[in-house]
């Protein structure tokens, strides 16, 4: 979960505060709550205990659990091919279904052997936080009907801001994730820099506005441009340097050219940890550029932001605190309290509780150490790859993403890029069927690569050793199965 951070909270507050929600609130308060569904409290306590036992069992089996169920869509769909639930069923039976159908068929990000996408392993305090938040059932829209939850949200946004080095007066609200953070960041940028009243006139009120991000920027920015009616073509994708960070000369050229051609540049998005490789743009230089060019500076820190607090990677984030908006941060003590004014949602659930409990249960020092350890272990993976004969790394490792290929030790195929691309694509599918580890794939300079990413405090060095062993084992059997009579494939196995 993320928060959007706006350096000046009043700007964020003004984004939606002119819209009237009073009538809906009034009508809503007249609706009566459904009655009579609660069971006896003792039964409820037993059910909670059973649910807790299920959770403990799931975590107890983590070390040996498959990461993927490796079943077909049809196999899993058939588990839920059931009639409309007209009549009540006993909670014990429902919980067994959760165990056998849902827990058993979920991809286990919880496991340190999950290396796909950017899915965190979660933590125990936040499990309790989610349970308790749904028990108290707050809908953090306006202060007066979620007073404690609003204050907790204000507090955690301040803590997140402090955690990553933002000024204490930064403000915002918790959002569902990076896509929502980028959407709100673009909306604020447009409001501030479009030179016409886009809220009233829409995009017909002035020249087309343009936004700039490196070629490595996240696809949610395109979605944001589309959703805001600014048009995906007005998102300028800027070339990157060898380390996958934005090329500043190319950025400047694009902005100048756009101005000459009648466009209205409004915003540069800096990447603070790209999804593909974890590259961090030169944020300080981007901040300087935006100041000189009168552009809004939004930073997409959806993945990398927390690493700003670490010794291992913190220096890469110099300038993050100069962003006008970003995706981790709160309102000053006197700022507005009605969170409905900060983002697109009116009713939001009480997400802040799990963040508050996480900070309190572990403390910033332990959280920092966990992020630090994650980065160090993934760099250890990079070293192991660099020292091996049959793997090759294809990108630097500034954070916790390692992009590599399995290339065998067979000198006849190692230079054959087409063969390696196919082999690695097949390998990904085989690994998913195998289920012992999980990787996702991406393209690096046109090559199909295996991408290992970990944002999991449970990660140990032995997990990345295991990852390489499994990839090697599955890779070898894949080669053997592809061409059993090919002597070279076997002869050159390491």
Q: What is the dihedral of CA 18, 329, 303, 462, to 10 degrees?
A: -150
Q: Give the residue from 456, 471, 485 showing the smallest Cα distance to 115.
A: 456
- Binding segment (CB under 6 A) for ligand PLP, from list 42-50, 171-179, 249-257, 352-360: 171-179
Among 218, 322, 348, 436, binds ligand PLP (CB under 6 A): 218
CB of 182 to ligand PLP, least distance (A): 6
CB of 418 to ligand PLP, least distance (A): 29
Alpha carbon separation from 246 to 259, 267, 280, 423 (Å, rounded):
20, 14, 9, 31
CB 421 within 8 A of CB 437: no
C-alpha–C-alpha distance, residues 488 and 474, integer Å: 17
Residue 258 found at the interface with ligand PLP (CB under 6 A): no
CB of 228 to ligand PLP, least distance (A): 16
What residues from 354 to 413 belong to the interface with ligand PLP (CB under 6 A)?
none
Exposure string of 162-173, with b = 16+ CB inside 10 Å and e = fewer, is: bbbebeebbbbb
CB of 118 to ligand PLP, least distance (A): 4
Q: Give the residue from 220, 274, 219 showing the smallest Cα distance to 243.
A: 274
Residue 214 found at the interface with ligand PLP (CB under 6 A): no
Among 171, 178, 306, 398, binds ligand PLP (CB under 6 A): 178
CB of 345 to ligand PLP, least distance (A): 14
Q: Of 354 and 407, which CB lies nearer to ligand PLP in the complex structure?
A: 354
336: Cβ–Cβ under 8 A, 6 or more apart, which residues?
A: 9, 10, 13, 17
CA R_g for the chain? 25
- 455 alpha-carbon distance from chain centroid: 10
What residues from 22 to 61 belong to the interface with ligand PLP (CB under 6 A)?
none
In DSSP notation, 107-145 reads --TTSTTEESTT-----HHHHHHHHHHHHHT---SSGGG
Element (H, E) at 175: strand 171-175
Q: What share of the chain is helix, strand, coil (3-state, %, to 5)?
A: 50, 15, 35
Residue 438 found at the interface with ligand PLP (CB under 6 A): no
Q: Of 265 and 270, which CB lies nearer to ligand PLP in the complex structure?
A: 270
C-alpha–C-alpha distance, residues 217 and 424, integer Å: 24
Residue 452 found at the interface with ligand PLP (CB under 6 A): no
Residue 303 found at the interface with ligand PLP (CB under 6 A): yes
Place of tokens 């944002």: 455
Among 300, 321, 324, 410, binds ligand PLP (CB under 6 A): 300
Q: Of 19 and 219, which CB lies nearer to ligand PLP in the complex structure?
A: 219
C-alpha–C-alpha distance, residues 97 and 79, integer Å: 9
CB of 442 to ligand PLP, least distance (A): 12
CB of 197 to ligand PLP, least distance (A): 29
Among 177, 202, 205, 229, binds ligand PLP (CB under 6 A): 177
Among 110, 302, 355, 403, binds ligand PLP (CB under 6 A): 302
Q: Of 177 and 205, which CB lies nearer to ligand PLP in the complex structure?
A: 177
Residue 118 found at the interface with ligand PLP (CB under 6 A): yes
Q: Of 118 and 370, which CB lies nearer to ligand PLP in the complex structure?
A: 118
Residue 216 found at the interface with ligand PLP (CB under 6 A): no
CB of 25 to ligand PLP, least distance (A): 28
What residues from 179 to 198 belong to the interface with ligand PLP (CB under 6 A)?
179, 182
Closest CB to ligand PLP: residue number = 177
In DSSP notation, 339-405 reads GGGTSS-SS---THHHHHHHHHHHHHHHHHHHHHHHHHHHHHHHHHHHH-SSEEE-S--SSSEEEEE
- Binding segment (CB under 6 A) for ligand PLP, from list 80-88, 248-256, 297-305, 468-476: 297-305
CB of 179 to ligand PLP, least distance (A): 3
Q: Of 170 and 302, which CB lies nearer to ligand PLP in the complex structure?
A: 302
Residue 4 found at the interface with ligand PLP (CB under 6 A): no
Place of tokens 């959703």: 227
Q: Of 1 and 65, which CB lies nearer to ligand PLP in the complex structure?
A: 1
C-alpha–C-alpha distance, residues 35 and 30, integer Å: 15
Residue 325 found at the interface with ligand PLP (CB under 6 A): no
C-alpha–C-alpha distance, residues 95 and 254, integer Å: 57
Among 220, 310, 400, 405, binds ligand PLP (CB under 6 A): 220
Q: Give the residue from 426, 13, 369 showing the smallest Cα distance to 188.
A: 13
Instruction: Give the binding-site size for ligand PLP (rule: CB under 6 A).
Output: 11
Q: What is the DSSP letter of 237?
A: E
For residue 491, how many other CB atoms are within 10 A of its CB? 9
Residue 275 found at the interface with ligand PLP (CB under 6 A): yes
Q: Of 286 and 302, which CB lies nearer to ligand PLP in the complex structure?
A: 302
Residue 329 found at the interface with ligand PLP (CB under 6 A): no
Query: Using CB under 6 A as the criterion, which residues of the chain lie in contact with ligand PLP when the complex forms?
Result: 118, 177-179, 182, 218, 220, 275, 300, 302-303
């Amino acid at each position: 979960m993320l928060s959007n951070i706006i350096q000046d909270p009043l700007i964020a507050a003004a984004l939606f505060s002119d819209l009237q929600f009073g009538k809906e609130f009034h009508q809503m308060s007249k609706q009566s709550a459904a009655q009579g569904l609660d069971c006896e409290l003792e039964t409820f306590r037993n059910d909670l205990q059973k649910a807790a036992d299920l959770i403990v069992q799931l975590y107890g089996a983590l070390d040996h659990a498959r990461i993927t169920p490796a079943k077909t869509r049809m196999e899993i769909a058939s588990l839920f091919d059931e009639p409309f639930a007209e009549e009540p069923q006993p909670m014990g039976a429902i919980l067994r279904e959760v165990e056998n159908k849902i827990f058993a068929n979920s991809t286990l990000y919880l496991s340190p052997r999950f290396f796909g996408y950017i899915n965190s392993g979660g933590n125990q305090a936040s499990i309790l936080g989610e349970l308790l938040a749904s028990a108290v059932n707050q809908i953090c829209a306006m202060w007066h009907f979620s007073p404690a939850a609003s204050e907790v949200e204000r507090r955690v946004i301040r803590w997140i801001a402090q955690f990553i080095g933002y000024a204490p007066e930064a403000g915002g609200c918790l959002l569902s994730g990076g896509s929502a953070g980028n959407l709100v960041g673009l909306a604020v940028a447009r409001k501030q820099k479009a030179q016409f009243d886009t809220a009233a006139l829409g995009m017909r009120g002035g020249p087309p506005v343009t936004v700039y991000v490196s070629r490595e920027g996240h696809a949610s920015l395109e979605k944001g441009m589309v959703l805001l009616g600014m048009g995906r073509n007005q998102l300028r994708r800027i070339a990157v340097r060898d380390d996958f960070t934005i090329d500043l000369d190319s950025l400047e050229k694009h902005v100048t050219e756009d101005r000459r051609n009648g466009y209205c540049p409004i915003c540069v998005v800096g990447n603070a940890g790209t999804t593909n490789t974890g590259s961090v743009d030169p944020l300080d230089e981007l901040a300087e550029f935006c100041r000189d060019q009168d552009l809004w500076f939004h930073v997409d820190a959806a993945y990398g932001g927390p690493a700003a607090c670490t010794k291992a990677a913190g220096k890469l984030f110099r300038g993050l605190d100069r962003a006008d908006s970003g995706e981790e941060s709160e309102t000053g003590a006197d700022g507005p309290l009605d969170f409905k004014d900060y983002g697109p949602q009116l009713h939001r659930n009480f997400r802040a509780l799990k963040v508050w409990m996480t900070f309190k249960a572990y403390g910033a020092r332990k959280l920092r150490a966990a992020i630090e350890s994650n980065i160090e272990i993934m760099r250890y993976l990079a070293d192991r790859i660099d020292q091996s004969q049959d793997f090759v790394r294809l990108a630097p490792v500034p954070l916790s993403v390692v992009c590599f290929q399995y290339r065998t030790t067979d000198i006849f195929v190692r230079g054959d890029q087409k063969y390696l691309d196919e082999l690695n694509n097949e390998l990904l599918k085989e690994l998913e069927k195998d289920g012992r580890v999980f990787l996702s794939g991406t393209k690096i300079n046109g090559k199909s690569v295996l991408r290992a990413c970990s944002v999991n405090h449970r990660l140990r060095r032995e997990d990345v050793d295991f990852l390489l062993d499994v990839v090697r084992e599955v890779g070898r059997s894949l080669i053997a199965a592809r061409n059993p009579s090919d002597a070279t494939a076997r002869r050159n196995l390491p």
